[in-house]
Amino acid sequence: MSDARQRIIDRVRLGLAAHAGDDLRRARVEERLRLHGRGPAPSRASGDARALRQLFLRMVEASGATLAVVGTVGELPRAVADYLRGCNLGLSVRMGGDPLLAAVSWTAEPALAVSHGAARPDDEAGLSVATHGVAETGTLVLASGADNPTTLNFLPETHIVVLPTSRLSATYEDAWDSLRAHFGKTALPRVVNLITGPSRTADIEQTLLMGAHGPRRVHVILIEDT
């Protein structure tokens, strides 16, 4: 550690009346991390599964993303192709090896060209599966890995995200609890992306620019599996 950094840390400790060997403070920090405390949740995130589904749909649309709802996984090829046609895009999509997508018969839509692996600079559309959807804000939770490479979330200008309704969570805290339960406390993904609508910025003269740091379009396909 550099001398300058050590001096800063020493001043912080002095202001907190703490010292490097303070076992009580260390125990308090460890206890806080262990308990995963929950913050106040907005009242709109309360309700039954139907109410949360409607809230999620409403918040996704408010974020600037688009939506489609299908009844089964088998309808995905048609839903993806229809969306690409509607955007006047080429009928090609790149995806990872997520088990949900691997179980789909993509040849059911012969015009749709499917490729697999991490996104490349020339890919127009990427297809991912969200681990969770957060109803309170319409946010998509995407975990990195071979099943869903992070590059698919940001390189293509069009990002299509598949989400089963069984993966809807009311709040961020609920989503993190489910992530820990699924992956285990010591095996969380290297990256977890929280995505709310397409990328945008209005930093320059308050002019809204889409696709500034990622996709210009985000399309959510909700599968009614509950």
Digit-coded pLDDT (tens) for 2-53: 788 888 888 887 887 777 677 887 888 788 777 777 778 888 988 899 999 9
Residue 127, phi then psi, degrees to nearest 5: -125, 125
Q: Which two tokens stand for residue 101?
A: 């997508």
What is the per-residue DSSP string for 140-190? Answer: EEEE-STTS-THHHHSSSEEEEEEEGGGEESSHHHHHHHHHHHH-TT---S
Q: What's the pLDDT score for residue 130?
A: 97
Asked if residue 111 has pLDDT above 90, the reply is yes
Confidence of residue 203 (pLDDT cuts 50, 70, 90): low
Number of residues written out for the chain: 226
Strand partners, 222: 69, 163
Q: What is the chain's Cα-based Rg?
A: 21
Could you tell me if 4 and 134 are in contact, meaning their C-beta atoms sit under 8 angstroms apart? no
Q: How far apart are CA 125 and CA 103, in angstroms?
A: 20
What the chain holds in terms of domains, given with CATH numbers, is 1-35 (no CATH), 42-223 (3.40.50.10420)
Who has greater pLDDT, 217 or 34? 217
CA 145 to chain centre: 13
CA 18 to chain centre: 38
